[in-house]
């Protein structure tokens, strides 16, 4: 008798990026820079750090399972009801909750390829079927994805902006797509990089929820808010969908420090603007330098850039690591010549460009 369920053996575990200290220990280097996991290089809001310090005295107590104060503040921030919000230990936990709640064995999920790999893992755990639709020009092909939806489709995942490409679909494209989606399918918009968006034609998907559509919008405190290490994200949906997801949610899934930090970070508009400005300026610098070096890249709406090295990315990333720069090779996403680079501080971006020239022969 096998101990492991057959469908679990078909799943490739998600390989997280290496921590800075592990790389420094392995390679015997110092002052390594991690530009692999799309974290905010400024870190958390100083006000959030202070709020966590004050909350440490209550670490012996279980957290508020309903995240009452954070939910109330987020409700006001988004102009939705508190009953329309659910929190997760990172938005990837909510992705898992969505699959556990709504996906029956054999039902399909339409997923772009490449996109965030956790979508496929969550579906496979529930013995669902992944219907993969290739990107067009590194962007979700919503026309083909819409054509892929049928009576067996329960879920559609749309990462906007997409990870790992950084591209986005527009309000008009999403509107046309939503007009063709049947009532029996739930569309999940993963908007982890929402706060970095500067374009006016980005779709406001929460409006579909206000209209009563089968839509779940995911966002996170891991990116621009700088709280990736605390693991807290949230989903917005109709009240009945949230109520059903709460049936599978663990009762204390978001810890007390994460709730306190997220509540304070949400209110620190100055830190959000600093982070956004740093990202815009860093992106412009990297674009200019990559253009100067004649290195191809995909223009991004997020806080990272997908770069085509025209050579094996795994070997190139190892060379960059020797120079103290940790980036993400994209082989697992079917992009063997690409690396994904997080936009860092001015100093970090300059260090990356120098390392790129010295290790990859671009000049």
Residue 267's Cα: distance from chain center in Å? 21
Express each pLDDT in 212-270 by its tens digit: 999 999 999 999 999 999 999 999 999 999 999 999 999 999 999 999 999 999 999 99
pTM: 0.95
- Tell me whether residue 240 is exposed, middle or buried, using C-beta atoms within 10 angstroms of its C-beta: 0 to 12, 13 to 18, 19 or more: exposed
Express each pLDDT in 157-184 by its tens digit: 999 999 999 999 999 999 999 999 999 9
Express each pLDDT in 336-351 by its tens digit: 999 999 999 999 999 9
Indicate whether 292 and 204 sit together in one domain.
no
CA distances from 79 to 73, 201, 259, 321, 341 (A): 10, 20, 19, 44, 34
Indicate whether 66 and 210 sit together in one domain.
yes
- Tell me whether residue 60 is exposed, middle or buried, using C-beta atoms within 10 angstroms of its C-beta: 0 to 12, 13 to 18, 19 or more: exposed
Residue ending a domain, among 240, 268, 296, is: 268
In a domain, 282, yes or no: yes
Indicate whether 113 and 230 sit together in one domain.
yes
In a domain, 308, yes or no: yes
d(CA 106, CA 256): 38
Indicate whether 77 and 132 sit together in one domain.
yes
Indicate whether 87 and 169 sit together in one domain.
yes
- Domain membership of residue 11 as a residue range: 6-44+270-360
Q: What is the CATH number of the domain that holds 140?
A: 3.40.640.10
Indicate whether 262 and 163 sit together in one domain.
yes
Looking at residue 362, what is its pLDDT? 58
Indicate whether 110 and 179 sit together in one domain.
yes
Residue ending a domain, among 268, 293, 319, is: 268
In a domain, 1, yes or no: no
**Both tokens assigned to 83:** 């009953």
pLDDT in tens, the chain (363 residues): 788 888 888 888 887 777 888 877 887 888 899 999 999 999 999 999 999 999 999 999 999 999 999 999 999 999 999 999 999 999 999 999 999 999 999 999 999 999 999 999 999 999 999 999 999 999 999 999 999 999 999 999 999 999 999 999 999 999 999 999 999 999 999 999 999 999 999 999 999 999 999 999 999 999 999 999 999 999 999 999 999 999 999 999 999 999 999 999 999 999 999 999 999 999 999 999 999 999 999 999 999 999 999 999 999 999 999 999 999 999 999 999 999 999 999 999 999 999 999 987 654
Q: In what order do the strands lie in the sheet with 328-329?
A: 296-298, 304-308, 338-342, 328-329
Indicate whether 100 and 240 sit together in one domain.
yes
Looking at residue 10, what is its pLDDT? 85
Indicate whether 147 and 209 sit together in one domain.
yes
The total of structural domains in the chain comes to: 2
**Both tokens assigned to 323:** 């120079």
Residue ending a domain, among 268, 300, 324, is: 268
**Both tokens assigned to 39:** 């974290």
In a domain, 225, yes or no: yes
Burial 258-286 (b: 16+ CB within 10 A, else e): bbbbbbbbbbbeebbeebbebbeebbeeb
Q: What is the CATH number of the domain that holds 291?
A: 3.90.1150.10
In a domain, 329, yes or no: yes
Indicate whether 250 and 279 sit together in one domain.
no
Looking at residue 249, what is its pLDDT? 97
């Amino acid at each position: 008798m096998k101990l492991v369920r057959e469908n679990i053996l078909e799943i490739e575990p998600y390989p997280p990026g290496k921590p800075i200290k592990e790389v420094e220990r392995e390679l015997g280097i110092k002052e390594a820079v991690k530009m692999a996991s799309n974290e905010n290089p400024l870190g958390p809001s100083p006000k959030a750090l202070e709020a966590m310090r004050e909350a440490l005295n209550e670490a012996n107590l279980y957290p508020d399972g309903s995240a009452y104060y954070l939910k109330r503040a987020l409700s006001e921030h988004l102009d939705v009801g508190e009953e329309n919000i659910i929190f997760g230990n990172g938005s990837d936990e909510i992705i898992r909750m969505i699959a556990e709640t709504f996906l029956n064995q054999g039902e399909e999920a339409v997923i772009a390829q490449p996109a965030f790999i956790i979508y496929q893992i969550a579906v496979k755990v529930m013995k669902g079927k992944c219907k993969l639709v290739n990107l067009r020009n590194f962007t979700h092909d919503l026309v083909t994805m819409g054509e892929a939806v049928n009576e067996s489709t329960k879920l559609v995942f749309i990462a906007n902006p997409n990870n790992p490409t950084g591209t986005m679909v527009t309000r008009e494209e999403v509107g046309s797509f939503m007009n063709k989606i049947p009532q029996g399918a739930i569309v999940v918009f993963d908007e982890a990089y929402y706060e970095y968006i500067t374009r006016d034609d980005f779709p406001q998907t929460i409006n579909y929820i206000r209209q009563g559509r089968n839509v779940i919008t995911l966002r996170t405190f891991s990116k621009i808010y700088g709280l990736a290490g605390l693991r807290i994200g949230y989903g917005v949906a109709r009240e009945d969908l949230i109520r059903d997801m709460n049936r599978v949610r663990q009762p204390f899934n978001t810890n007390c420090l994460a709730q306190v930090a997220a509540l304070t970070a949400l209110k620190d508009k100055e830190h959000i603007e600093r982070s956004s400005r740093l990202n815009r300026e860093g992106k412009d610098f990297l674009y200019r330098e990559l253009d100067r070096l004649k290195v191809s890249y995909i223009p991004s709406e997020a806080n990272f850039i997908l770069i085509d090295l025209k050579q094996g990315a795994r070997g190139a990333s190892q060379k960059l690591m020797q120079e103290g720069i940790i980036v993400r090779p994209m082989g697992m996403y079917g992009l063997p010549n690409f690396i994904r680079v997080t936009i860092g501080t001015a100093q970090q971006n300059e260090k990356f460009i120098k390392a790129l020239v010295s290790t990859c022969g671009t000049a």
